[in-house]
Structure 1
């Protein structure tokens, strides 16, 4: 299981185009945005399901918040429901690797996968975040407030087909092989 993303509403224009296609004016989608704001979310995925998308209240995600708002109420019950062989996949963000969180996982008997630094392309949840971002940006009416953005993210999360999640998770061995063949270099993932 893996997740966590930060969604910002800024004043930048987004350009969506196919690989090799230039930044033609017809590909630029402009939005009038309010003065900013962001939404931080966390969600977990597995072959058999997903957690609810958790929208974190304002403020930074500290190790204590991660333990108390994510690990304890979301990961622990999900791990118990999945199987005794549950393995948590999380990146090396400071709150994830902090001693208080590592101790909590150890006390709970939850194993966490070792994860290489700077390797988001290997993580299937990053592709889920990309799917969600594209879905939000393709809406006819863009979210105008932080609450509308949070609501839209929850809706998009729930609409992602489980088969898409399974496909991304099952692609991990191929991703790892390609990274090894590229000796840690870039891959098409």
Structure 2
């Protein structure tokens, strides 16, 4: 039975090969036509161009725009498939602070001056910052269509604002440990509040207990550069680390805020701050070079 089945199969193959040769002049198999595409190559190019120009537009909006422009109605899955074929996929956009030429030069100069610092020098720095945490944790991050390697192109970058109820906190990290987490309540942070509630109540005690030559890193926010704040730091003998404008990405505590945001619940904010491993802080400060 097996031999007869094999002969029958071979006969069918030769039969179809003869028919194929007569029809196309070749015995090689051709790909089947399959289901015919709803869109034409020109319409596909139109869709790709529209996604490039409106890279933050979701697939359903691209679907509607394609129908308005060409009269062709396709599914959102077809839209995604066509864009995937040309390498476009939705990814989370990069978020950055807009920098002028002067900002870039200042950042480069700062990096040049500090890239040879050894760990003993970075170990004396207390990195501080404020951050706002969203209470309802609404994720409003949008997706952007781009090819691999195009994440940081200007048209693919988006600034994300935190909406809804939130709480402002202040904290500091160093190679030796971390300060307590200060919740800033009852209004915004002013120069006087920064001096009284943070520098006098937290930084002075922390620096005095940890090491005598503490260097304070705070950014160029208005409350940090108030005259009364500068005068207080001079009185206490606490030196500052000069900081280039618009450079939050250079501060390792920004990564700690990100870790805290990913782990936190509203009722556990203080506990999660203490739960972040000190090794994570040391690794981030060790990477400053």
**Length-normalised TM-score, structure 1:** 0.71
Deviation for aligned residue 1:5 = 1.1
Q: Within 2, Cα distance between the matches of 1:55 and 1:165?
A: 20
Cα RMSD between the aligned structures?
2.1
Matched, 1:13 2:139: yes
Deviation for aligned residue 1:12 = 4.0
**CA gap 1:41/1:47 in 2 versus in 1, 3 angstroms:** same
Is this contact kept in 2: 1:3–1:45, CA < 8 A? no
Q: Within 1, Cα distance between the matches of 2:240 and 2:136?
A: 34
Q: 2:277 aligns with which of 161, 164, 167?
A: 161
Equivalent runs, 1:20-31 vs 2, <5 Å: none
Structure whose residues are more often helix by fraction = 2
Matched, 1:132 2:132: no
How many residues align structurally?
A: 145
Q: Within 1, Cα distance between the matches of 2:255 and 2:216?
A: 18
Matched, 1:76 2:192: no
Q: Within 1, Cα distance between the matches of 2:174 and 2:193?
A: 23
Deviation for aligned residue 1:52 = 1.2
Gaps of 5+ in 2: 1-125, 149-162
Q: 2:242 aligns with which of 103, 114, 120?
A: 114
The structure 1 segments of at least 4 consecutive aligned residues displaced by more than 4 Å after TM superposition are 14-17
Matched, 1:88 2:234: no
**CA gap 1:170/1:11 in 2 versus in 1, 3 angstroms:** closer
Per-residue CA distance 1:14-53 (angstroms, 9 max, x = gap): 5599xx6xxxxxxxxxxxxxx9422111111110111111
**Length-normalised TM-score, structure 2:** 0.47
Matched, 1:48 2:176: yes
Is this contact kept in 2: 1:4–1:40, CA < 8 A? yes
Per-residue CA distance 1:105-157 (angstroms, 9 max, x = gap): 01100001100001111101111001111113xxxxxx5xxxxx2x4221111
Q: Secondary structure at the match of 2:257?
A: helix
Q: Secondary structure at the match of 1:172?
A: coil
Per-residue CA distance 1:139-183 (angstroms, 9 max, x = gap): xxxx5xxxxx2x42211111100000000111111xxxxxxxxxx
Gaps of 5+ in 1: 21-34, 137-142, 144-148, 174-189
Q: Within 1, Cα distance between the matches of 2:142 and 2:235?
A: 45
1:102 aligns with 230
Deviation for aligned residue 1:66 = 0.4
